[in-house]
Structure 1
Amino acid sequence: MQTMDPVRPTPEGALASPSTARNTQPILDVLKAHMPARGRVLEIASGAGEHALAFASALPGLEWTPSDPSPEARASIAAWAAQGPANLKPALALDMTDEVTWPADPVDAVVCINMIHISPWSATAGLMRLAGILLRRPGGLLALYGPYREAGVELAGSNAGFDASLRSRNPDWGLRDRDEVAAAAKAEGLALTLRVEMPANNLMLLFRAV
């Protein structure tokens, strides 16, 4: 499970992180405004599973399927899901760099939180390809959350430090250029339709299948 946050075990055996507690409500506010009322959602790189539990609970019309390539993460997701609603489905072992692990059933939305900067670029390319394949057209939603570099926008000091820390940990990680991410999405038939500024110098980027 890739994370830059300290995690702590809960009494139920799940993992929790401070950043998830801080960003869940702002992310949910954006999702509520743009998600369909009903449908199927695939969450990529779900990590500990706190987001999956919160979003499935708050969006009961959506069948929410989390995923993560890490067995540790999937165990934590299962622990959170044990207290969750029926629309929160078991986690899948999806790896964005290995198409053999990808599902085949179409979805109405794909959600990915804090993966793109803590993974190699090949994972981002895989995410865009998977979304291009699975999202229903037209209008299927890809929602991304995290920090980005943007042309003409000065990088916040906290994000610059975070980027340096990521690259010292793994040279294949680091904040991605928003335009490069959008170009990768466009190549798979996904158009960037909305940029939302979020707390702590993060962004929500929303793409639609065309």
Structure 2
Amino acid sequence: MRTLRGERLRMAREKRFKSARLAAQAMGIAVSTYGAHERAETPGGRDYGPDEARKYARRFGVTPEWLLTGREPFPEGDEPPPPKVPVLGYVGAGGTAHFYDVPPSHLDEITPPIGIAENAAAVEIRGDSLGPFFNRWYVFYDDVRRQVTPDLIGQLCVVGLADGRILIKQIQRGASEGLYTLYSATEKPIPDVPIEWAARVNVISRSSDRE
């Protein structure tokens, strides 16, 4: 018997969450959007695409192919696969982050260390930009860009500057209000620069996928 995409999404979600609301909140998705996806291919519903299917599949322990096509058997196991996070780019000389200009569905994904949040992302370290021991390790960080708040002072962060540079540096207060000095282990400090946004680094680690 053929099932609809929305029905398959609901079946998968019920393996992990009692309600669509709880699932949406856990994934940081608007409840109305997720609810419409569970009604996909029916009046009043909204279809979801490959990017959403990949996210839902990781969370619910099924495959994107099954959600989108129904051609594979419904997975019966209770244990979901390990969560993955996207590799958005790499860190090069001077702690400068370079992000790939590709659709999300074309990005590599890796298994993060235990305890990393659902909204995390990663960038690969190339060379000795963050120290001589971290070549081909990964920086896992909260993929939420926000203004600098007191809790980020003294923390290693991904920071966006007004001149367009994106760096991975420790944030310290600068000489005056609204300015900050950026530190790293391998470069001279960058004094008194405004920061447009910052995202806290959670951990620098190898990925078990690449060992």
Q: TM-score, normalised by structure 1?
A: 0.22
Larger proportion of helix:
1
Higher strand share: 2
Structure showing greater Rg = 2
